[in-house]
Structure 1
Amino acid sequence: MNSIKIKYFIILTFFIILSCNNEKEVNVIEKDKMAKILIEMHLSEESIDALKFDEDTLSALFSEKEKEIFEKYSVTEKEYRESYSFYFFNPQQLEEIYGELIDSLLLYQQTFKNEKIK
């Protein structure tokens, strides 16, 4: 009986090791490009949220804008989602991306305020 358990354990361990090594290769979007995509996403979301439409309409508008952004940067939604997931599980790289994102949004905000003052 013990030999069956040991064989079962060895086979199970073998399959676990194989499944861990059988990771799909993800085509990750470069950090700079990902930051630019996220900047445009945030700006689009902010401008769409300012509109006075119902939530379904706003969601549809953002979905269309999202498609335009993906086309502009020649990425698919799947590549974007997989890349975001990759960066999510690599916090140091995600922090670098969001550092660039925050800097750019702050610069945009300052520029926008300066133009309003004029």
Structure 2
Amino acid sequence: MKHTFWIILLLLAISCTGEDRPPEGVVSQEKMVSFLKEAYLAETKVKNLHLSRDSSALLFRHYELALYEKYGISEEEFTLSYNYYLQNPTQLEDINGAILDSLGVMESLLEKEGRDRPGEGNEEEEETDTGKQKRLPLDPEEMEQDPEGAMPDPEEGEQPAAEEDPEGA
């Protein structure tokens, strides 16, 4: 009986020592927060373009690949990490909380600048040969900055300038 008590105490002490460390190849919480925040912003940008499902998926895939490269992780590492955090709800909750906090700060800053929420209406109109066009960030690194490239408004479509008929026919 005396040995059973010490064995149980030893097992309890072993199970309580140290943190539950992620296995090798799991992306840190900080990197996951940054990656997932940018992925969310990219998804919102693509969604607001009102493209077909196939076109949206292709464009988002472009953003996704750029994010993997930017953060120096592979799809396999991301999947391993995501699955690890799904199995560890406390850590996943910390990640989600940090993402929400970060997006809240971004929203506050954008409101101070007189802009809308991230991913909603952050485009500027630009006068071109073919009329007004919306400027949208096309690169994941531009999503949090002012856009530099112009893209036609998907709702208006690109319409050629109407030529006037000199005879009035």
- The two structures have a TM-score, normalised by structure 2, of 0.53
Q: Secondary structure at the match of 1:116?
A: coil
Q: 1:105 aligns with which of 103, 123, 126?
A: 103
Q: Secondary structure at the match of 1:111?
A: helix
Larger strand proportion of the pair:
2
Q: 1:78 aligns with which of 68, 76, 80?
A: 76
Equivalence for 2:50: 52
Gaps of 5+ in 2: 1-22, 116-169
Query: What whole-Å deviation, never above 9, does each CA across 1:27-69 have from its counterpart, x for those lacking one?
Result: 1000000110000000111111100311110111001100000
Q: Give RMSD over aligned pairs.
A: 1.2
Percent identity of equivalent pairs: 33
Equivalence for 1:38: 36
In the alignment, structure 1 residue 27 sits paired with structure 2 residue 14: no
Structure 1 residue 26, shift from structure 2 partner: 4.8
Residues paired across the two proteins, number:
93
Please tell me whether Structure 1 or Structure 2 has the larger radius of gyration of its CA atoms: 2
Structure 1 residue 112, shift from structure 2 partner: 1.9
Query: What whole-Å deviation, never above 9, does each CA across 1:74-115 have from its counterpart, x for those lacking one?
Result: 000111011000000000111111111000011111222222
- The two structures have a TM-score, normalised by structure 1, of 0.74
Equivalence for 1:21: none
Return the letter of the residue paired with 1:70. Answer: Y
Runs of 4+ in 1 over 6 A off after TM superposition: none
Equivalence for 1:15: none
Structure having greater relative contact order (Cα 8 Å, sep ≥ 6) = 1
